[in-house]
Structure 1
Amino acid sequence: MAAVQSLFTNGIVNGYGKNDKVSIATSVARYATSNETGLEGPDQVLVANEDTVWDADGRVRIKIDQCQNDEFKPISIPGLLMQTAKKYPNCPALISRPGVDGSRTTITYKEYERQVRTVAKAFLHLGLERHHSVCILGFNTPEWFISDIAAIYAGGFAAGIYTTNSPEACQYCAESSRANIIVVEDAKQLEKILQVKKSLPKLKAIIQYDGIPSAKDVLSWSELIEIGEKQSDDKLNAVLRTIGINECCTLVYTSGTVGNPKAVMLSHDNLLTDAKAVQVAAGFGRESTHEMIVSFLPLSHVAAQVVDIFTCMLMAGTVYFADKNALRGSLLDTLLAARPTAFLGVPRVWEKIYEKMQVVARNNGPIKRWIASWAKAQGLRHHMSRETRPSWGFLLAKWLVFNKVKAALGLERCHLFATAAAPLSDDIKKYFMSLDIIIIDAYGMSECAGAHTLCTQADFRLGSVGRTLPGFFTKLDAIDATGEGEVCMGGRHVFMGYLHDPEKTREAKDENGWLHSGDLGKIDAEGFLYVTGRMKELIITAGGENIPPVRIEQLLVKECPGLSNAMLIGDRKKYCTILVTLKTEINTETGEPMDPLASDALKWAKSLGSKSRTLPEVLNSQDPLVYKGIQEAIDATNEKAISNAHRVQKFRILPHDFSVPTGELGPTLKLRRNFVLKKYANLIDDMYKE
């Protein structure tokens, strides 16, 4: 039993539930029963003696905490889809994005499972080997889902590649995962693979799922289906019998901001334990309405996979696919068409919705503005005071304003509004809260298969990322005098290891099974986790002072309505400086920032007396009024500094806003700090010239 409890013997941690501080040394765990024959898959636990592996064919033990009920019984991904398809055969599973004529195709769970089997048989016929990968390069579609699950059915790895990757980055992912098959969306993504095809000796087939490929030896999706339909079930069934719940089925590549990305090995049990924990904590499937979510966040990211693919599969929910321009402005159209019951957006998505709502509000007449202000005061008071019974004012505001706002956003059926991947400012959360939209935080990482903590609609704290999900554990390592320490995670969702990388695996996952996040955090008396900074992002000045940059950046953007982004500089420097970007219009086709100032920035500039209407006008003239306005915002931010070392001494305006096409933001819209440091090294150096 001592070995079984190795995960649970390292200090005081927080489990799920109010005031649920427990000593993990007292937890009782057991191993899931192992199968010696390996011929009863896919819902079998294969014999394993390790908790951490990095070989492609490795297996890990599954520790089941005594408190977990049958809801958390281990099951494989093929087993789950078969089970759901049998129980809900005619339930709509996937609704495609609009075709050329604007129509959408609905796929039921019975059809979903049948198409997965067909594609899995085609993959095997084309040469997919056990523990080799199918890489998928494209925007969210039913074909992405089907390819992902089919790779798992066929005994391989599903491995998503970000659509923003260069040909060289695609080559690295395909090579490191030993890709036998690559599925691409269209000619644009296909071209990347064709450029590196000669460097991929294990590659046996390329499939294009949107349109008819013009390149030689590239299969269309219909040709792939035709191949699969001609195959018998014998080979696929034989492979399914060898699959184990405790072996790798999916590779998720980290962002790779320093060096090459790492391939996170996730097992069936990792992914489905996390999906089940999210479902239980968020209350998915408990509403009277059928669950509907919109899929638009990159599926190469673990959060989108867990929510869109696996949580929906657990509750027989429906996935409604947005078109590929969702993050460039078309998302609202999809929300209005789908009317989802839950909505997960990264902070930049919520910020963009907020900015558009501000523009609409300014165009309202004085009476509408007065009613809206009154209603928002009712909403904010109701939620901040956690009223158990709504006041008449709140109910009236709900009828007059809140319901209409939600309907205008396509969110009137939503019972869950969530944000993840990066911090969302409390001010924006309060704005939505005042409109009866409670945006809850989820916190996790690829290495814990998605979410580890979650706030709920009924139980949240501003600034907190919530309590630990059921069945998981959180501890703080190396706690300092302020009560902060490194956030460490334990549970069945913690990854197997990094593929072919024992050194990095040992750095991330210790000998007792704890995943070290690299994040700094605090845990309050009620079990709420507050992430206070990133150990690697932490700025350490030449004077040795530790400065978490996010707080300062958020304060400055709040002080200056014309700013879109800010990034603090100061690591190993004598003082702090900051890079800022002005809000500009966005090219809806490419997502690239343009020269004209956005309406917020333009209004702010005019309030200062500036006549500049574009970013080049501001930079070329060194517009004194705009520069003075930013400096005043910096001065106001400095007034809130906790020490002189936290004060910003200089700033520079960048030649364009941060974006994915220009490289400063990653696919999930996280700031790529190392990239910005390299790209704007000359500007940064200029600020430190004496």
Structure 2
Amino acid sequence: MGCGSSTANVPSAAPVSTNPDDYFPYTGKDVWYTCKADVALELRCAKQGVASLDGCPPTTLPKLLKKAAEKDGSLPALKAERPCPALMGNGPAPPALPDDQWKTWTWKQYYDDVRKAAKGFLKLGLQPFESVAIWGFNSPEWMLTTIAAGMAGGKSAGLYPTDSPDTAAFKVVHSGASIVIIEDKTKLDRLIPALSDRQYAGKVKTFVAYGYEPSANETVEYRGSKVPVISWAALLEMGSSGSDQELDARCEALQPGHCAALVYTSGTTGEPKAVMISHDNVIFESTSVIGIGAEHMGFCKGGASLAERHERILSYLPLSHIAGLMVDIAFPIAATASSPAYVTTYFARPYDLKAGSLKDRLCVARPTAFLGVPLVWEKVADKLRTLGANNPGWKKSLAAWAKDKGVRRARGQQLGGDGAQPGGYGLANKVVLSKVKGLLGLDKVKFGITGAAPIRVDTLEYFGSLGLQINEVYGMSESTAAVTVSTTRVHQWGSCGFQLPGMEVKAFKVDSDDINKRTECPRAPQLDSTDESFQGELCFRGRSIMMGYLAQPELGLEHVAEIEKKTAGTIDKDGWLHSGDKGIVCESGMVKVTGRYKEIIIGAGGENIAPVPIEDHIKASCDGINEVIMIGDKQKYNVALVTLKAVGANGETPGTDKLDAGALRVNPAVKTITEALDDSVWIDQVKLAIEKANDNPKVCHNNAFKIQKFMILPTNFSEEQGFLTPTKKMKRPVVEKAFGKQIEMMYSSKETYVRYQE
């Protein structure tokens, strides 16, 4: 499992094992999934390595939590600001509470409260394999519920805080939830009518509120009867007198191959599918990442003192997403139970992303690992660039000198680099770079991570110039998050890393009518190889691959047949999970995503055009551009919709008309999007950025790839409008349909820039 090295101990190849004993053999049958929630799926254990029985002993999350509590029971596990200071109007967020004023759960209290909640669920009638649905923002109660549901023999089903009532009702019903945990009364008031409108309204027995105190004996009308609404405190009180013997029996009956959680795909079309994630899936995934983190970055490696053993994370991305489940819930339990470290999870405020106040929580938590979706990293970069632009001349010169040292060092640290540290870097880091990271609350980060969507290389380079290595990971809900990982020791900008130990990642040419017919693509000689022969569908297999999509029998035979068909169309007879992503695997072992098959634009001449690299090049060339959506499927040429950076455009909401960050520097005389629509400087700058992409043969391989016309939109895309998923992926079909008239205007016009009209 060794890797080559260059002159300065920077590896020249990724640490990818070629020993077949490190991987599960996938022989003896041709169905490697289930669509039933009451099945314990066979574990995919290898003969040796991290995927073996010794490398990752099979267990369940409740048992692992007990082990963590026995090991580090007196140390802090969860910390939240209680009560959370309210955000008043459009004013700034109230200052963060000092660390010692945050409400704290030790690991023992965490475990004890899980037992109380689980016994409460039993008293409320939770049956084996039923679900406990959760609708609300990240909180200790969210995490307690997830583990308690499993301890009581069931599973959790997370809803996104931003789900519409109809979507939330679908998930409650589809998951088979008999208990629903809700954050606030508004969600309850919106959920009940949506449930009542469904032909099959599910079987909810109780609603439990953790964000407000229900009135005494509160009930709601549901399915012709009154269903109780109780508080979280009442649930724990109920559990305090529950049967330990009954709970232990349920917990003992739980197997590693049973479903631990339903993760609903955010999806860009249709109703979401429920990915069944087993206890073994999440524990293996955590174990593999912990091992890489310790070996490559000293993360979870421990030390002689409590301070050296202490790892910290900040929970702010939705816990209903696979990344939230893994990074915030499963990983801290696995790391505390099975590594020399212990982990404390801090919770962000519900409004932090919207109010731009996440930094306040970071500065208290000082995380040692931080996961940001690309939008978060890009917003941080925007703020830093704006601050830098407002500095006096001498500070700008000092910062430019320091960042030059930083980026030169970062380039040399990449896979195959010389590893050289330029003269003066130590001083630059001490005087400038470390202070910038400290202001962000990221000065203690050992493992900076990005995932869930593609990130621009210029963003990685920018943070590299600050001395902060952002490691790209790649995976999906169906693979229990990451199947590839980049590390400080092994990374390459533009790559999403190398396969995790115990997992296999390959690129295949797959028959369009039968996923079982496939041919492995040859390894690409380098990361920027563009030959189609190297590119294929990225497929994964191993111990973290999902159980399957859940089919809910109560929704009828047609639904069950549809879900079974979708699962069979995702996991083939040899156990390969088909991602739908196009990419390459390099000779060095590094993996690169080159596009998504559903997003590929088929040109008039039959060319396969991946829009994302072209869009990213345009955004990197003009700091005022927020998004670019390239359109041209089956058209004679390509056009683009462009949005500009604006105040409040955070992905959740479209923001205002006021320009923000780099957009204010394109033409300082223009302050709004409305003005920019008719401003010659703005129009020329966007046109120039598009021309730069058109002229770059690495992204535009021939004329069919070029963008011929563009339109600047008067607003940004957002989740609120339905244009983005909860993980901020673009719903391209929705965007194209919503702006169909404007797209037609571009194709009908003779101008390069077509002015927006409703």
Aligned to 1:44: none
Aligned to 1:615: 673
Aligned to 2:300: 285
Distance 1:145 1:390 in 2: 43
- Report the AA paired with residue 499 of structure 1: L
Distance 1:399 1:27 in 2: 43
Q: Structure 2 residue aligned with 1:61, among 35, 42, 45? A: 42
Q: Is the contact between residue 176 and residue 202 of structure 2 (CA under 8 Å) also seen in structure 1?
A: no
Query: Displacement, 1:635?
Result: 2.1
Aligned to 1:385: 412
C-alpha change, 1:636 and 1:589, in structure 2 (3 Å) is closer
Query: Displacement, 1:59?
Result: 2.3
Query: Displacement, 1:96?
Result: 1.2
C-alpha change, 1:544 and 1:391, in structure 2 (3 Å) is closer
Any idea what the Cα deviations from partners look like across 1:340-368, whole Å, max 9, x if unmatched? 11111000000000000011111212221
Distance 2:135 2:662 in 1: 36
Aligned to 1:371: 398
C-alpha change, 1:126 and 1:349, in structure 2 (3 Å) is same
Distance 2:151 2:382 in 1: 44
Query: Displacement, 1:587?
Result: 7.2
Distance 1:616 1:534 in 2: 33
Distance 1:466 1:613 in 2: 40
* 2:260 counterpart of 1:249: yes
* 2:534 counterpart of 1:534: no
C-alpha change, 1:382 and 1:613, in structure 2 (3 Å) is closer
Number of matched residues? 652
Query: Displacement, 1:326?
Result: 2.1
Query: Displacement, 1:591?
Result: 4.1
Provide the secondary structure at the position in 2 that maps to 1:190. Answer: helix
C-alpha change, 1:338 and 1:652, in structure 2 (3 Å) is same
1:314-325 paired onto structure 2 within 5 Å: 314-316=334-336, 317-325=343-351
Distance 1:412 1:551 in 2: 31
Provide the secondary structure at the position in 2 that maps to 1:160. Answer: strand
Any idea what the Cα deviations from partners look like across 1:237-262, whole Å, max 9, x if unmatched? 22112111112121100113121111
- Report the AA paired with residue 75 of structure 2: C
- Report the AA paired with residue 83 of structure 2: G
Distance 2:41 2:241 in 1: 36
TM-score normalized by structure 1? 0.91
Query: Displacement, 1:625?
Result: 3.9
Distance 1:375 1:207 in 2: 53
Aligned to 1:194: 192
Q: Is the contact between residue 408 and residue 422 of structure 2 (CA under 8 Å) also seen in structure 1?
A: no
Distance 1:578 1:23 in 2: 47
* 2:733 counterpart of 1:674: yes
Distance 1:185 1:205 in 2: 14
Aligned to 1:234: 245
Provide the secondary structure at the position in 2 that maps to 1:202. Answer: coil
* 2:174 counterpart of 1:166: no
Q: Structure 2 residue aligned with 1:661, among 707, 720, 724? A: 720
* More displaced 10-residue stretch of structure 1: 624-633 or 202-211: 624-633
Q: CA RMSD in A?
A: 2.2
Distance 2:649 2:545 in 1: 40
Query: Displacement, 1:322?
Result: 0.7
Query: Displacement, 1:19?
Result: 5.8
Query: Displacement, 1:100?
Result: 4.4
Query: Displacement, 1:425?
Result: 1.0
Aligned to 1:425: 456
Distance 2:491 2:285 in 1: 20
- Report the AA paired with residue 18 of structure 2: V
Provide the secondary structure at the position in 1 that maps to 2:214. Answer: coil
Provide the secondary structure at the position in 2 that maps to 1:94. Answer: strand
Distance 2:371 2:22 in 1: 33
C-alpha change, 1:325 and 1:270, in structure 2 (3 Å) is same
Could you tell me which runs of 5 or more consecutive residues in structure 1 were left unpaired when the two chains were aligned.
Answer: 1-16, 32-47
Distance 2:330 2:22 in 1: 28
Any idea what the Cα deviations from partners look like across 1:398-420, whole Å, max 9, x if unmatched? 11112111111111111111100
Provide the secondary structure at the position in 2 that maps to 1:554. Answer: helix
| Identity across matched positions, percent | 39
Distance 1:28 1:507 in 2: 23
Any idea what the Cα deviations from partners look like across 1:26-58, whole Å, max 9, x if unmatched? 767589xxxxxxxxxxxxxxxx99631101212
Any idea what the Cα deviations from partners look like across 1:420-475, whole Å, max 9, x if unmatched? 01111111111111111001101000001111010101111111111111111111
Provide the secondary structure at the position in 2 that maps to 1:135. Answer: strand
Query: Displacement, 1:586?
Result: 0.6
Q: Is the contact between residue 150 and residue 251 of structure 2 (CA under 8 Å) also seen in structure 1?
A: no
C-alpha change, 1:541 and 1:590, in structure 2 (3 Å) is closer
Q: Is the contact between residue 325 and residue 589 of structure 1 (CA under 8 Å) also seen in structure 2?
A: no
Aligned to 2:208: 207
1:542-621 paired onto structure 2 within 5 Å: 542-586=604-648, 591-606=653-668, 611-619=669-677
Q: Is the contact between residue 418 and residue 439 of structure 1 (CA under 8 Å) also seen in structure 2?
A: yes
- Report the AA paired with residue 321 of structure 1: F
Q: Structure 2 residue aligned with 1:136, among 130, 134, 137? A: 134
Aligned to 2:754: none
Q: Is the contact between residue 133 and residue 157 of structure 1 (CA under 8 Å) also seen in structure 2?
A: yes
Q: Is the contact between residue 266 and residue 727 of structure 2 (CA under 8 Å) also seen in structure 1?
A: no
C-alpha change, 1:75 and 1:589, in structure 2 (3 Å) is closer
Distance 1:574 1:318 in 2: 55
Q: Is the contact between residue 65 and residue 471 of structure 1 (CA under 8 Å) also seen in structure 2?
A: yes
Q: Structure 1 residue aligned with 2:14, among 10, 15, 18? A: 18
Query: Displacement, 1:678?
Result: 2.2
Aligned to 1:496: 547
Q: Structure 2 residue aligned with 1:684, among 715, 734, 743? A: 743
- Report the AA paired with residue 688 of structure 2: E
TM-score normalized by structure 2? 0.83
Distance 1:508 1:519 in 2: 12
Aligned to 2:535: 484
Query: Displacement, 1:687?
Result: 2.1
- Report the AA paired with residue 179 of structure 2: I
